[in-house]
Structure 1
Amino acid sequence: MQVLPPLNSLRAFEAAARRLSITEAADELHVTPGAVSRQIRALEAALGRQLFVRGHRQISLTPAGEEYFKAVTKAVADLRDATSKLTKGTGPNKLKVRAYTTFAMRWLIPRLSSFHAENTGVEVLLTASLDPVDFDREDIDAAIRLGPGSWPDVRAYRLASNVLVPVCSPELARRVREPADLVNQVLLHSIARPDDWAIWLRKGAGLSTIDPSSGMTYQSSAMAYAAALESQGFAIAQKFLVEGDLASGKLVAPFSQAVDMGDFTYYLLTPMARGESKSMRLFREWLLSQFA
């Protein structure tokens, strides 16, 4: 039997390659950056190959390092799955899911209790981020992302229709009769979705006389919706995320014009390189049923 590479060195390599940072790998493993560097050098010596290109403040993988990282990632995932199967019944299975802040706050979190009630053996660990998802480098099981549905190396399950509509408080709705009246109103924007007003004004209202970038800008759509609730202006909303406020009358859609973004909408993404666990299947089926 051939000798395995040093297992502690593999852990250090996998963390550093996934994060492309010695410092972040050290924080994750609760050791010093020097210890991570020594473990990686030991692994390179054992393999007889250089795995990283070391810059002044950053590292990158060599072609050999990229190839080895893919193999190590698969091995780690297989070990994680095998351990999960072996220890099931001793505690909840943890499912790591990433979503956007607004999607999480306004849609997913209010419904998660029903998933946990139906699946007591599964614990969803939810995080929020705008960063692109890289299943090869990150320890997450699934992500909810907005896009055209054509991501490489992932399974993509279409969720909601992405329909853009302006919304405002009932008080502000009384000030406008048609889209052209927005010329004298405050438009509310999200940094994460800077083009939505321009798309709606052009495709929905057919207007070029209103500056689509004017108004106030917020960190997230959730903050823009909150400002709309406080009568600070008109927000451009993804309709399914404000349906509760529209139904209750807290927000109003003052115009009939809407823009359906078609395939550019929300999807549940899972990595093709990993088999679907039972916990992931339960979450996927539950999520799709909520939108159905």
Structure 2
Amino acid sequence: MPTRWDLPSLTSVKAFEAAARNLNMSRAADELNVTHAAVSQQVRALERWLGVRLFTRQGKGIMLTPEGTRYAEQLSRSFEVMEQASREARRQSTTRPLEVNTTTSFASRWLVPRLGRFQMAAPEVELRISPSRQLVDFDRDPVDVAIRYGGGGWPGVISERFMAGRMVAVCHPDLLPAGTKGLTPAHLANLTLLHDADYSEWEQWVLENGWDIDVRQGLVFGMSTLVVEAALSGQGVALTVESLVRRDVEAGRLTALHDAGREYASGYYLVYREQDAARPNLAAFLAWMRAEAAREAGDDPVR
């Protein structure tokens, strides 16, 4: 193994990579927080070191030469390898925050209200929570564990079901006639239905319960958090995961359609890489999440 790599200046390589990716010296300079002249100077130094032209002028812009194109492609692959190696090394750190990715609705309605207990159970673990509905690429995204609702079985990762996905319809008590003890299927036909993105969840739910109700009416939102907030403000009936509104039902802020909470095959999953499972900070968070879910379920097993 050589004791010294025969490499050009890394500063010159970074300047070229940015210029090649942007095909613009000014944008490369802005990205690197240097001047246009500094990028041009570094690219010329790299060309002298390599002995080839990397760019040609085309009008007011620049284009890669064939040699520049090949070099840029090879550098891009090399930077990806370096980035992946650096990310893997950072994952092993016990001092950096544990990156938790989940949906806004789960974070705001279930996770955040319980974080005080996690801080007491594992004060040495710092969390950083990022809300997103997008699927996570653990090889590229700075995420240690994702919490997702679905059927599990996502490829290349461990998908650990930790909480049931029972669905329930809820509305503000003031929407019901005086003296009504709770929401019933008969009420649904006369109340505004609140939808998350489309009508599919309501359609599936009434079908599985055997009710002949037209659910293709009401208000459509692009986020489940807004659906629940709309229900809390008396805008209509929301269909949501029971665990996200349990506290509101218990406190009387919402009333639920009882005896209809049929459980879907879906549920909430802890999603993480197998090779990360033994890391102390992740292991502590996973154990706490399992315990919290078991606490909520009581003696009922999470199916």
Taking structure 2 as the reference length, the TM-score comes to: 0.70
Partner SS, residue 287 of structure 1: helix
State yes or no: 1:129 paired with 2:139.
Answer: no
Amino acid at match of 2:201: D
Change over 3 Å in CA distance of 1:246–1:181 after alignment to 2? closer
Partner of 1:75: 85
Tell me, which stretches of 5 or more residues in structure 1 are unaligned? 47-53, 55-61
CA contact (8 A) 1:135 1:271 kept: yes
Cα deviation for residue 63 of structure 1 reads 9.8
- In structure 1, what residue type is equivalent to 2:292? Q
Deviations 1:114-168 (A, max 9, x none): 1112222211111111112111221111111122111111122212111111111
Q: Is 1:165 matched with 2:168?
A: yes
Q: How big is each residue's C-alpha offset from its partner over 1:38-83, in whole Å with a ceiling of 9 and x where there is no partner?
A: 999x7xx99xxxxxxx9xxxxxxx997897577434411343246x
**Offset of 1:195 from its aligned partner?**
2.1
Question: Quick check: 2:183–2:256 contact (8 Å CA) kept in 1?
Answer: no
Q: Determine the structure 1 residue equivalent to 2:207.
A: 202
2:192 is aligned to 186
The number of equivalent residue pairs is 264
CA distance in 2, matches of 1:229, 1:251: 7
Of 141, 151, 155, the match for 1:152 = 155
For residue 219 of structure 1, report the CA deviation from its aligned partner: 3.3
Q: Determine if contact 1:228/1:235 at 8 Å carries over to the other structure.
A: yes
Contact 1:96-1:124 at 8 Å conserved across structures: yes
Q: Percent identity?
A: 31
Q: Deviations over 1:235-266 (max 9, x none)?
A: 1121011110111121111342223112x221
C-alpha distance 182-78 of structure 1, shift in aligned 2 (>3 A):
closer
CA distance, structure 2, for counterparts of residue 14 and residue 179 of structure 1: 62
Query: Where does residue 278 of structure 1 map in the other structure?
Result: 280
Larger Rg: 2
Partners of 2:32 and 2:271 in 1: CA distance: 30
Distance of 1:37 and 1:267 partners within structure 2: 50
Once the 2 structures are TM-superposed, how far is the Cα of residue 275 of structure 1 from its aligned partner? 6.0
2:61: which partner in 1?
none
The structure 1 segments of at least 4 consecutive aligned residues displaced by more than 3 Å after TM superposition are 4-15, 20-23, 29-40, 62-74, 173-178, 272-276
Read off the aligned partner of 2:185 and give its amino acid letter.
Answer: P
Structure 2 gaps, min length 5: 51-63, 65-71, 295-303
